[in-house]
């Protein structure tokens, strides 16, 4: 109790600051109220011994000290050598040198003579092991049960920030960018450290700090020194810093006449620039590239291939062991093409043509982070090219910061999908983790949902998506349920009943969202605002930037025919997959309209007609938000009141919008189906015109 | 001490959270360590008695309870009736009804039988009195010295937020908007309450929540309900909510064919819309309008005057006692005109033509919030029209969030300026506070510098500008020094020596900034980026959006001739002012280049030639930042370490930029002056081309 007055000096006083504002994420380290647990922990943790003097090992010990200290109320000294008496934690770096990255990240937690020993071949492994132990203790579990070992299945576990230099975030819904570019490098926000802690705690070891629609600024010395200040913070938590690059930088920045990747001057420019980058950030990770996509420059501007572009950068990065992460998110503004096929069409034939330090980063689905997409057909079709996975954490198509959607089921659905590339069991996960094709490089990226909001993610429950991404990038065999439960325990409450109720909401949340947003394989009703669905939207500078391009509603029916009678995109999959999905009878209902144009009155496997099934989904989806509300209300007594009120407000909004979005689709589709909404459902309380007016509010300047 | 364990539950733990992050502003309520002071306070404060049950009175009592509680460590009960024994605070609402707003805001603090009594005719007065008492106690002053009375000199003391619906802030340098439009009205961020507390504590009683470049969204029912949720929070702290309106809303929102203010349909539309606004926000304040300015629509689009436009809105607002605040910030894209004269030219002749509930809001200077401007010649020239003052708190032209500029001297310089309108002593303040012309309405607005950053204002020291604005809107006779000292005591430390050192920095900071940015009456080197000076900028869609328009450098000299031989803008002032400023011998040096084109070799009153004086100013300005750094370093032991480090970083950046900006001007002007930089100064370490390259970095996409 001696430290109490001191601590009190630092309590940020304000009328509202007593609340849990979500800032601490899953690293709350709440004081343990159960005396039995606290006593047991107190007995075991009287020191933290660490002989390694690296920043990373030091931060591992510091985190243990702070975390266990807060949970037990006891100050635990950090020492260099094991004391003669007492029990404690030992962080033990094995003597091995020249270990692989995966080995350096792996750890073993054991009990030796009453001490908890965390062993690793690398200091990053000590850090990850320390966070694993803290995770264990935060769940108030017996110390003996902490004995474990773990190694990451993916080497590069990364966040991609779509943050712009002016502080805005493309598709960001949680305030402005965390990075204060105009203040860097002189002012280093302490929050950068908490960002690094949070990432390290779930195994994330890389971050791309700027938008893939990249400003060339980031390659100037002025900005590289700013990036270096961030890298200086991140490095101490085992996180490498990467940059998105502007492919035309040799022209815009270097003053060259071309950015042709085969031009010797251009290659020289990149080599020199890369050298400069490494002179400023010695452990720089590499470049992320969006090229020839949505107006961004790229090698095709000069008649070159993606491989030509990537290999030029790879050549520049190779001397420094940097990597090129080249995105496969491409599609042409061709009214006759099927955007679904674009990535495969452009990339599959390039397999084997990329340099060794290139990763091709593929979005989980063929289009663009829809609430439900079949896996991208590229997975499995580039055996000689490491394919990285790109998931989206920020809720561009998932209700922004006002809808509660737990994304682990989306990630798992893709990772567990069977490509049949080498027969049954050739899951997407086995491709991405390198096991199927022996990729020398493996990568999983999440487009970050973080921002300057105090809660980091806007919707406090969206923290779980950041968490789940990190945990799955480390070990994709974890279940969505196990991660949800773990996250809720660390973040919200350790009481079993509310944890179960919250886990229940989380696990059902994605299907509920899909039902009121894009059931049965509909997609992309967002066009102008990205805040309001416009399924009627039929005009744009590109056909694939309208809504009607995707749903293809007409008087006969609904859906995009991607079978042999249509775009034949299904042919990009292996026969086992094609066969199952090409037949509307066997195609899983959730994917139905992705692949088939179904007539309004066709009976589905559910026993309902398409129209009735749509009504059923839209209505039960919206209605299920009421269930979410009730479920959330039931846990009120276990949750911080401010946090509870915050989420209650968001669920109110979610329900309002679910009805709005349902009405938008139903009333619009009804103009084609000419069928009534079944009498068991209340008719929309507004007209299609009124819905459109409501949408237009969000499209106004 | 019984409450300690409970409090501990709420300590937000993180490795960095022990720091003072600036969130509490000047309402820190730090525990008093001096036992004598604490004992005295403890003796006096054993209850807070308040019989009035309004939200505002309740919040006054709650603030006293929380503030004194935190300072003394004692829980002080709030009671309805005075206890028989013990001493405490009594909040006493006088029985008077139908008092003026000013009277309702005024308060008296007295000692009665050992009790501290705060009396007012309005609950807002009780709130302001309570904050005054807390301010007193935070400075550890004797209770007897709290005896005082106060009334505001200005009725409407307002913040103007230039916040956009997507969450960005025009000229915002502290993160994104505080208002979470997509989450409102269902989710009400607790921070809104802290915003209201901060404003109320310095007497601010109105806020315009959206940008003057207004989205019509805010007049839709969808958004009015969002605004109402904010108003519901603000109201409880005596703050009225206002909206900026889009003048063309009858067309864009109402579907009318015109927005002509004399069209009966248009008038009807505004009346109905205003009625709707008040049905949703019963105590709505009124409309702020930017019309026919920088591309915004306005009455002149239909051949009508500003008065026509304002009066139409005034008619709609009058039944609800709402006001129109019509901005005088106008200027035409005329290459031959002098922007300096535009507001006067367009508005002075309209004097007497505005409805009673219209205020014309005038920026302090004739151009646009430059680091130093002469007062706007409109002040004094509209005796029949209430003129409101518009100051800018956000540092658009004052170094954003990385330069420390205390703005009270800017405000005071304008308020104390003598217009000579009714003879000597006709200060701008006496016009704005209504005393000179008996204005029935008085208003002072500050363009807010707040944002979602944890410290509210980006640069923690910029909090002082928000504070100073509120204090001066209440009482413009306060000195910049007194406010600086008070703010530093409340916000940083109560120790006299560091307070003196910090006050010293603050009071000199503006002149230092002017010296390295725009000395001797230079202005507006910012064009594209607003982050980097471009005095060479000579191309734009409008002549007055170039830099050369303002400084008029040529081979002969520098400065804008606004005497009779030039644009004759000086004629807009009274003869006493014109006479003094029209003569380059008597024109104060700080205004020299505002009014005169001076030859490079002309000797100034300082004894130096223009060129040498420019060199002197630019160099000593930049060098003085080193003095600021040293001064700040000297207070390190008295300031929270994280906060100290933050400001230290910003001062480093400020110095770097001061040199950069100095070099930009010096090297550019040298191409005209053809003179050497005096040998006592170090020559710039870069060429003009290099400076331009540095600027271009901040202009890249």
| Residues 278-297 of chain B whose Cβ lies under 8 A from any Cβ of chain A | none
Q: What is the pLDDT of residue B82?
A: 93
> How far is residue A422's CA from residue A474's CA, in Å, rounded to a whole number?
24
Catalytic position from the list A308, A373, A390, A396: A396
Q: What is the pLDDT of residue B7?
A: 35
Q: Is A538 helix (H, G, I), strand (E, B) or coil?
A: coil
Residue of chain A minimizing CA distance to B226: A653
Q: Is A618 helix (H, G, I), strand (E, B) or coil?
A: helix
b/e per residue, A526-540, with b = 16+ CB within 10 A? bbeeebbbbbbbeee
Cross-chain residue pair B176–A176, CB shorter than 8 Å: yes
Q: What is the pLDDT of residue B335?
A: 81
- Predicted confidence (pLDDT) at residue A529 exceeds the cutoff of 80: no
A9 interfaces chain B, CB cutoff of 8 Å:
yes
What is the tens place of the pLDDT at every residue in A93-109?
Answer: 987 767 888 999 999 99
**Chain centroid to CA B625:** 24
Torsion of CA B581, B587, B593, B596, to 10 degrees: 60
Q: Is A277 helix (H, G, I), strand (E, B) or coil?
A: helix
Q: What is the mean pLDDT of chain B?
A: 95
The token pair at A668 is 């619009």
Contact A395, A451 (CB under 8 A): no
Lowest mean pLDDT among A75-79, A329-333, B128-132, B186-190: A329-333
Q: What is the pLDDT of residue A13?
A: 37
B158 interfaces chain A, CB cutoff of 8 Å:
no
Cross-chain residue pair A701–B66, CB shorter than 8 Å: no
**Which of A8, A21, A700 lies closest to B216 in CB terms?**
A700
**Which of A12, A62, A220 lies closest to B24 in CB terms?**
A12
User: Closest Cα to residue A629, out of A520, A525, A501?
Assistant: A501
pLDDT band at B12 (very low <50, low <70, confident <90, very high): very low
A638 interfaces chain B, CB cutoff of 8 Å:
no
pLDDT band at A530 (very low <50, low <70, confident <90, very high): low
Contact A296, A334 (CB under 8 A): no
Query: How is residue B544 annotated by DSSP?
Result: G
User: Closest Cα to residue A572, out of A293, A307, A338, A304?
Assistant: A338
b/e per residue, B623-654, with b = 16+ CB within 10 A? bbbeebbebbeebeebbbebbbbbbbbbbbbb
- Residues recorded for chain B: 701
> How far is residue A137's CA from residue A135's CA, in Å, rounded to a whole number?
6
The token pair at A364 is 């989980």
Cross-chain residue pair B187–A452, CB shorter than 8 Å: no
B217 interfaces chain A, CB cutoff of 8 Å:
yes
> How far is residue B126's CA from residue A495's CA, in Å, rounded to a whole number?
45
Query: How is residue A539 annotated by DSSP?
Result: -
> How far is residue B547's CA from residue B533's CA, in Å, rounded to a whole number?
9
Catalytic position from the list A263, A301, A351, A368: A368
| Residue A158 Cα, gap to closest chain B Cα (Å) | 23
Mean pLDDT confidence for B596-602: 98
Contact A63, A76 (CB under 8 A): no
- Predicted confidence (pLDDT) at residue A16 exceeds the cutoff of 60: no
> How far is residue A128's CA from residue A120's CA, in Å, rounded to a whole number?
9
Q: What is the pLDDT of residue B332?
A: 87
Contact A205, A288 (CB under 8 A): no
Torsion of CA A248, A252, A256, A257, to 10 degrees: 70
Mean pLDDT confidence for B594-617: 98
Lowest mean pLDDT among A113-127, A536-550, B238-252: A536-550
Select from B175, B221, B625 the residue whose CB has the most chain A CBs within 10 Å, as the one to mutate to test that interface: B175
B255 interfaces chain A, CB cutoff of 8 Å:
no
- Predicted confidence (pLDDT) at residue A14 exceeds the cutoff of 60: no
Asked if CATH classification 3.20.20.80 holds for the domain at B156-482, the reply, yes or no, is: yes
A642 interfaces chain B, CB cutoff of 8 Å:
yes
Degrees to nearest 5, angle at CA A537 with A536 and A539: 140
CATH code of domain B4-8+20-150: 3.30.379.10
**Which of A14, A66, A167 lies closest to B194 in CB terms?**
A14
Mean pLDDT confidence for A360-380: 97
User: Closest Cα to residue A573, out of A432, A683, A417?
Assistant: A417
Residues in chain A with CB shorter than 8 Å from the CB of B181 are none
A360 interfaces chain B, CB cutoff of 8 Å:
no
Q: What is the pLDDT of residue B336?
A: 86
Count CB-CB contacts under 10 A for residue A255: 8
User: Closest Cα to residue B181, out of A319, A47, A698?
Assistant: A698
Cross-chain residue pair A12–B29, CB shorter than 8 Å: no
The token pair at B84 is 């028989």
pLDDT band at B530 (very low <50, low <70, confident <90, very high): low
| Residue A82 Cα, gap to closest chain B Cα (Å) | 25
What is the tens place of the pLDDT at every residue in B178-214?
Answer: 999 999 999 999 999 999 999 999 999 999 999 999 9
The token pair at A214 is 């990249």
A220 interfaces chain B, CB cutoff of 8 Å:
yes
Q: What is the pLDDT of residue B14?
A: 38
Residues in chain B with CB shorter than 8 Å from the CB of A193 are 15-16
Q: What is the pLDDT of residue B11?
A: 35
Residue of chain B minimizing CA distance to A177: B175
Select from A2, A5, A13, A189 the residue whose CB has the most chain B CBs within 10 Å, as the one to mutate to test that interface: A13
Q: What is the pLDDT of residue B345?
A: 96
**Which of B183, B646, B694 lies closest to A401 in CB terms?**
B183
Task: Say whether B613 is catalytic.
Answer: no
* Architecture of domain A157-212+234-275+283-479 in this structure: Alpha-Beta Barrel (3.20)
**Which of A9, A252, A652 lies closest to B186 in CB terms?**
A652
Which residues lie closer than 8 Å to B567 by C-beta, 6 or more apart?
B338, B340, B341, B560, B561
Lowest mean pLDDT among A475-489, B21-35, B425-439, B518-532: B518-532
Mean pLDDT confidence for B397-402: 96
Residue of chain B minimizing CA distance to A175: B176
What is the tens place of the pLDDT at every residue in A117-139?
Answer: 999 999 999 999 999 999 999 99
A303 interfaces chain B, CB cutoff of 8 Å:
no
CA atoms within 13 A on the CB side of A477: 6
List % helix, strand, coil for chain B (3-state, nearest 5): 45, 10, 45
Which residue's structure tokens are 């510098």? B449
- Residues recorded for chain A: 701
C-alpha to C-alpha distances, A83 to A78, A91, A135, nearest whole angstrom: 11, 13, 25
Q: Is the peptide bond before A185 cis (omega within 30 degrees of 0)?
A: yes
pLDDT above 70 covers a percentage of chain B that reads: 97
| Residue B550 Cα, gap to closest chain A Cα (Å) | 26
Lowest mean pLDDT among A9-18, A632-641, B290-299, B581-590: A9-18
Burial (CB count within 10 angstroms: exposed 0-12, middle 13-18, buried 19+), residue A199: buried
| Residue A1 Cα, gap to closest chain B Cα (Å) | 10
Degrees to nearest 5, angle at CA A175 with A169 and A178: 70
| Residue A640 Cα, gap to closest chain B Cα (Å) | 10
Q: Residue ranges per domain, chain B?
A: 4-8+20-150, 156-482, 515-560+597-697
Asked if CATH classification 3.30.379.10 holds for the domain at A27-150, the reply, yes or no, is: yes
The token pair at A115 is 């001490």
Q: Is B452 helix (H, G, I), strand (E, B) or coil?
A: coil
Mean pLDDT confidence for B521-528: 87
Contact A321, A281 (CB under 8 A): no
Residues in chain A with CB shorter than 8 Å from the CB of B17 are 10, 12, 23-24
Cross-chain residue pair B23–A14, CB shorter than 8 Å: yes
Task: Say whether A368 is catalytic.
Answer: yes
Q: What is the pLDDT of residue A525?
A: 86
- Beta-strand ranges (E) seen in B607-701 are none
- Predicted confidence (pLDDT) at residue A5 exceeds the cutoff of 70: no
Q: What is the pLDDT of residue A335?
A: 81
What is the tens place of the pLDDT at every residue in B438-470?
Answer: 999 999 999 999 999 999 999 999 999 999 999
| Nearest-10 crossing angle of helices A191-201, A221-234 | 60
User: Closest Cα to residue A235, out of A281, A276, A190?
Assistant: A281
What is the tens place of the pLDDT at every residue in A579-601?
Answer: 999 999 999 999 999 999 999 99
| Residue A72 Cα, gap to closest chain B Cα (Å) | 12
Give strand pairing partners of B313.
Answer: none
Q: What is the DSSP string of B81-146?
A: S--SSS--EEEEE-S--S--HHHHH-EEEEEETTEEEEEESSHHHHHHHHHHHHHHHHTT--GGGG
Contact B288, B244 (CB under 8 A): yes
Contact B81, B51 (CB under 8 A): yes
Cross-chain residue pair B182–A29, CB shorter than 8 Å: no
Contact A594, A365 (CB under 8 A): no
- Predicted confidence (pLDDT) at residue A493 exceeds the cutoff of 80: yes
Residues in chain B with CB shorter than 8 Å from the CB of A176 are 167, 175-176, 451-452
Q: What is the pLDDT of residue A128?
A: 98
Q: Which fold has domain A515-560+597-697?
A: Alpha-d-glucuronidase, C-terminal Domain (3.90.1330)
Mean pLDDT confidence for B503-508: 98
pLDDT band at B529 (very low <50, low <70, confident <90, very high): low
Strands B107-112 and B115-120: antiparallel
Cross-chain residue pair A700–B215, CB shorter than 8 Å: yes
B699 interfaces chain A, CB cutoff of 8 Å:
no
Q: What is the pLDDT of residue B267?
A: 98
**Chain centroid to CA A650:** 21
b/e per residue, B150-161, with b = 16+ CB within 10 A? bbbbbbbbbbbb
Q: What is the pLDDT of residue B8?
A: 33
Task: Say whether B396 is catalytic.
Answer: yes
Strands A107-112 and A148-150: antiparallel
Q: What is the pLDDT of residue B686?
A: 96
User: Closest Cα to residue B168, out of B436, B434, B394?
Assistant: B394
Q: What is the pLDDT of residue A261?
A: 98
| Residues 579-598 of chain B whose Cβ lies under 8 A from any Cβ of chain A | none
| Residue B19 Cα, gap to closest chain A Cα (Å) | 7
Residue of chain A minimizing CA distance to B32: A9
Cross-chain residue pair A701–B215, CB shorter than 8 Å: yes
Which residue's structure tokens are 């019989």? B51
pLDDT band at B53 (very low <50, low <70, confident <90, very high): very high
- Predicted confidence (pLDDT) at residue A559 exceeds the cutoff of 80: yes
Which residues lie closer than 8 Å to B580 by C-beta, 6 or more apart?
B586, B587, B588
- Predicted confidence (pLDDT) at residue B18 exceeds the cutoff of 70: no
What is the tens place of the pLDDT at every residue in A445-465?
Answer: 999 999 999 999 999 999 999
pLDDT band at B525 (very low <50, low <70, confident <90, very high): confident
Q: What is the mean pLDDT of chain A?
A: 95
pLDDT band at A18 (very low <50, low <70, confident <90, very high): low
């Amino acid at each position: 109790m001696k430290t109490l007055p001191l601590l009190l000096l630092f309590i940020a006083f304000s009328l509202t600051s007593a609340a849990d504002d979500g800032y601490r994420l899953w690293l709350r380290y709440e004081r343990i109220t159960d005396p039995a647990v606290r006593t047991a922990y107190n007995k075991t943790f009287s020191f933290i011994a660490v002989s390694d003097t690296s920043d990373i090992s030091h931060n591992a010990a510091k985190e243990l000290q702070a975390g266990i200290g807060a949970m037990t109320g006891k100050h635990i000294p950090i020492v260099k050598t094991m004391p003669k008496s007492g029990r404690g934690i030992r962080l033990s770096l094995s003597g091995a040198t020249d270990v692989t990255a995966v080995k350096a990240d792996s750890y073993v937690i054991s009990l030796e003579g009453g001490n908890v020993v965390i062993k690793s071949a690398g200091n990053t492994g000590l850090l990850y092991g320390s966070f694993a132990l803290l995770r264990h203790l935060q769940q108030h579990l017996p110390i003996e049960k902490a004995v474990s070992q773990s190694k990451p299945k993916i080497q590069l576990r990364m966040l991609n920030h779509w943050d712009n230099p002016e502080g805005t975030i493309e598709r960001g819904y949680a305030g402005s960018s965390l990075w204060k570019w105009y203040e860097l490098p002189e002012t280093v926000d302490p929050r950068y450290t908490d960002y690094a802690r949070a990432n390290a705690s779930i195994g994330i070891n890389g971050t791309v700090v700027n938008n893939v629609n990249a400003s060339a600024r980031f390659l100037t010395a002025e900005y590289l020194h700013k990036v270096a200040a961030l890298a200086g913070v991140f490095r101490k938590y085992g996180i490498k810093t990467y940059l998105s690059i502007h492919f035309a930088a040799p022209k815009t920045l270097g003053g060259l006449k071309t950015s042709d990747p085969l031009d010797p001057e251009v290659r020289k420019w990149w080599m020199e620039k890369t050298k400069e980058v490494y002179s400023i950030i010695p452990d720089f990770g590499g470049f992320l590239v969006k090229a020839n996509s949505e107006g961004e420059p790229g090698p095709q501007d000069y008649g070159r291939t993606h491989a030509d572009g990537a290999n030029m950068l790879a050549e520049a990065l190779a001397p420094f062991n940097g990597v090129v992460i080249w995105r496969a998110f491409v599609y042409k503004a061709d009214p006759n093409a099927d955007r679904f096929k674009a990535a495969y069409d452009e990339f599959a034939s390039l397999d084997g043509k990329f340099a060794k330090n290139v990763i091709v980063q593929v979005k989980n689905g063929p289009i663009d982070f829809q609430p439900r997409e079949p896996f991208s057909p590229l997975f499995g079709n580039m055996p000689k090219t490491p394919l990285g996975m790109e998931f989206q954490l920020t809720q561009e198509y998932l209700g922004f910061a006002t809808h509660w959607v737990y994304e682990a089921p989306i990630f798992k659905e893709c990772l567990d999908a069977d490509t049949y590339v080498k027969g049954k069991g050739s899951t997407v996960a086995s491709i991405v983790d390198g096991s199927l094709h022996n990729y020398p490089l493996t990568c999983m990226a999440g487009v970050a949902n973080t921002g300057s909001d105090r809660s980091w993610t806007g919707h406090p429950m969206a923290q779980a998506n950041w968490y789940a991404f990190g945990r799955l990038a480390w070990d994709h065999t974890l279940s969505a349920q196990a991660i949800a439960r773990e996250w809720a325990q660390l973040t919200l409450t350790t009481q079993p009943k509310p944890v179960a109720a919250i886990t229940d909401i989380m696990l059902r949340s994605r299907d509920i969202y899909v039902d009121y947003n894009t059931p049965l394989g509909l997609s992309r009703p967002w066009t102008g605002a990205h805040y309001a669905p416009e399924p009627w939207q039929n005009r744009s500078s590109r056909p694939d930037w309208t809504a009607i391009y995707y749903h293809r509603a007409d008087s006969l029916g609904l859906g995009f025919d991607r079978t042999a009678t249509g775009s034949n995109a299904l042919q990009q999959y292996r026969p086992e997959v094609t066969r199952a999905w090409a037949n509307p009878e066997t195609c899983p209902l959730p994917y139905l309209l992705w692949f088939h144009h179904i007539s309004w009155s066709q009976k589905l496997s559910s026993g309902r007609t398409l129209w009735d099934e749509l009504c059923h989904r839209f209505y039960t989806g919206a209605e299920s938000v009421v269930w979410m509300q009730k479920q959330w209300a039931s846990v009120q007594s276990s949750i911080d009141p401010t946090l509870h009120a915050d989420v209650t407000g968001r669920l109110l909004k979610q329900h309002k919008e679910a009805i709005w979005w349902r009405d938008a689709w139903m009333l619009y589709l009804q103009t084609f189906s000419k069928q009534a909404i079944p009498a068991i459902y209340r008719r929309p309380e507004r007209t299609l015109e009124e819905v459109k007016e409501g949408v237009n509010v969000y499209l106004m300047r």
